[in-house]
């Protein structure tokens, strides 16, 4: 069959779907990756076939300067409802959806939809898999009669929020997400159906104990790390000579930078590996700075991992069975940290001082319960089907939802 993946022009997000794309390819299916023209080199570097669509654009460069951006501390409206459903009101969610559609979803998708629909109607894919906010993929699939599913890289904030909104909405008018997607449906001779918002099925890479589920059909698949071209340095060839703690530095703008975390851990009897693109000097002797340690090679050598709740970092540590300390801030990271803490495999540390950060790391290193729970999480992750093992189910779904 023919399978079209739709991804935003973000290397980290694209990398999450590469193992599944390759699983389909090695099973003999034709696979294309739809992305902006300037992103084609990233796709082909992964050995996959790029299908340039639309024009190169950065949605955050074209947004209204006065509009709220989907960034900052915690979840933006209306998606904050996923963290606290008891606070949800229909009026508040409707207003939140209106802001999210105008300041985020439209900007991410508007430059893609016409070309993507035209290509889909030409190429006639049997299956379209779109990353969770690339709604253009759902529109294109409906326009050409293909089955389609969402691909998640984190908690299903979008599905859960949608479920709460529809529950509160009832028969009342006003649904900004459906109204926006409905304009595309009408343009291409279709009618709006709810799968344009949440897919006909959802590929979820999390073990059940971490998953946040809506009332949709899920296809679980094991997280498989792919971080682009990688070289494993000699110091990672064997087991660590002393207790090793990885500190995965966050993106610029986070309240607690990687350097501050590494300095907070300097007094530990441990090797601190700070993974960052920054060129740093003057760090304590037990801190090793590296920019190119692939997580699938580094994390299994560690006794603990400190990060900010990025999906790939959390999932890599879960797969390796390593206890975690999460300092969350952005989007679903706080909720992700809470679910990890509930599993017993780590701590959420809303820390602002060196002492608090160090205390959290010392706990996961010395209290055996964290290691035991992390091992359970590793076993739960390993029990999920690998990407190659879900190809048959995807073939069935393509037939089930065709047309």
The stretch 70-84 carries a mean pLDDT of 83
Burial of 277 from C-beta contacts in 10 A (0-12 / 13-18 / 19+): exposed
**φ, ψ dihedrals at 281, nearest 5°:** -130, 170
Check pLDDT > 60 for residue 65: no
Check pLDDT > 70 for residue 209: yes
Domain total in the chain = 2
- For residues 71 and 181, state if they share a domain: yes
- For residues 251 and 184, state if they share a domain: no
| Within a domain: 86 | yes
| Within a domain: 16 | yes
- For residues 196 and 300, state if they share a domain: no
Q: Percent of the chain having pLDDT more than 90?
A: 83
Confidence at 61, pLDDT banded by 50, 70, 90: low
HSE-up of 8 (CA within 13 Å, CB side)?
22
Q: If you compute the radius of gyration of the chain from its CA atoms, what whole number of angstroms results? A: 21
- For residues 60 and 105, state if they share a domain: yes
Check pLDDT > 60 for residue 70: no
Confidence at 66, pLDDT banded by 50, 70, 90: very low
> Domain containing 87 — which CATH number?
3.40.50.2000
Closest alpha carbon to 73 in 314, 254, 324:
254
Cβ-Cβ contacts under 8 Å for 315 (sequence gap 6 or more): 205, 206, 223, 225, 381
Instruction: Could you list the beta-strand ranges (E) of 43-126.
Output: 50-52
The stretch 183-209 carries a mean pLDDT of 98
Check pLDDT > 50 for residue 75: yes
Higher pLDDT, 126 or 254: 126
Check pLDDT > 80 for residue 250: no
- For residues 206 and 280, state if they share a domain: no
Higher pLDDT, 5 or 70: 5
Closest alpha carbon to 219 in 146, 312, 134, 156:
156
| Within a domain: 229 | no
Higher pLDDT, 391 or 59: 391
pLDDT in tens, 277-315: 888 777 888 999 998 899 999 999 999 999 999 999 999
- For residues 174 and 241, state if they share a domain: no
The stretch 238-254 carries a mean pLDDT of 86
- For residues 261 and 299, state if they share a domain: yes
The stretch 72-84 carries a mean pLDDT of 89
108: domain range? Answer: 2-222+385-400
| Within a domain: 116 | yes
| Within a domain: 9 | yes
- For residues 327 and 289, state if they share a domain: yes
CA dist list (Å): 343 to 114, 116, 271, 318, 346: 44, 41, 26, 11, 8
| Within a domain: 228 | no
CB 227 within 8 A of CB 295: yes
- For residues 139 and 155, state if they share a domain: yes
Vertex 127: Cα angle to 122 and 132 (nearest 5)? 110
| Within a domain: 227 | no
Write b or e for each residue in 23-52: b if 16 or more Cβ atoms lie within 10 A of its Cβ, otherwise e.
bbbebebebbbbbbeebbebbeebebebbb
Closest alpha carbon to 303 in 373, 352, 360, 240:
240
- For residues 214 and 175, state if they share a domain: yes
- For residues 258 and 336, state if they share a domain: yes
- For residues 162 and 22, state if they share a domain: yes
| Within a domain: 305 | yes
The stretch 33-59 carries a mean pLDDT of 93
- Least confident stretch, 87-101, 187-201, 258-272, 335-349: 258-272
Check pLDDT > 50 for residue 67: no
């Amino acid at each position: 069959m023919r399978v079209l993946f739709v991804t935003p022009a973000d290397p980290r997000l694209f990398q999450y779907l590469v193992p599944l794309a390759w699983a389909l390819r090695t099973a003999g299916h034709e696979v294309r990756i739809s992305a902006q023209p300037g992103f084609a080199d990233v796709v082909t570097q992964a050995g996959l076939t790029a299908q340039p669509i639309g024009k190169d654009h950065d949605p955050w460069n074209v947004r209204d300067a006065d509009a709220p951006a989907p960034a900052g501390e915690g979840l933006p409206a209306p998606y904050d409802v996923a963290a606290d459903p008891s606070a949800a009101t229909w009026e508040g969610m409707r207003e939140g959806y209106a802001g999210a559609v105008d300041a985020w979803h439209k900007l991410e998708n508007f430059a893609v939809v016409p070309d993507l629909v035209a290509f889909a109607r030409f190429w006639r894919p049997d299956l379209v898999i779109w990353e969770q906010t690339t709604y253009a993929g759902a529109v294109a699939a409906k326009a050409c009669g293909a089955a389609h599913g969402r691909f998640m890289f984190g908690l299903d904030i979008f599905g859960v929020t949608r479920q709460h909104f529809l529950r509160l909405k009832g028969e009342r008018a006003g649904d900004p997400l459906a109204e926006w997607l409905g304009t595309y449906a009408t343009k291409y001779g279709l009618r709006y159906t709810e799968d344009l918002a949440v897919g006909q099925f959802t590929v979820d890479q999390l073990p059940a104990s971490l998953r946040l589920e809506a009332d949709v059909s899920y296809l679980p698949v094991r997280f498989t790390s792919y971080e682009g071209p990688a070289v494993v340095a000699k110091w990672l060839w064997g087991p660590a000579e002393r207790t090793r703690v990885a500190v995965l530095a966050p993106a610029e703008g986070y309240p607690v930078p990687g350097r501050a975390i590494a300095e907070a851990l300097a007094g530990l009897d441990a090797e601190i590996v700070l993974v960052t693109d920054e060129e740093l000097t003057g760090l304590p002797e037990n801190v090793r700075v590296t920019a190119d340690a692939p997580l699938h090679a580094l994390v299994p050598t560690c006794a603990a991992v400190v990060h900010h709740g990025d999906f790939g970092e959390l999932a890599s540590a879960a797969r390796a069975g390593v206890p975690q300390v999460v300092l969350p801030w952005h989007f679903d990271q706080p909720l992700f940290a809470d679910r990890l803490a509930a599993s017993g495999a780590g701590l959420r540390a809303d820390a602002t001082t060196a002492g608090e950060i160090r205390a959290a790391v010392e706990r996961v290193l010395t209290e055996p319960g964290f290691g035991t729970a992390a091992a359970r999480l590793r076993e739960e992750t390993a029990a999920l089907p690998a990407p190659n093992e879900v190809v048959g189910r995807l073939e069935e779904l393509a037939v089930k939802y065709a047309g």
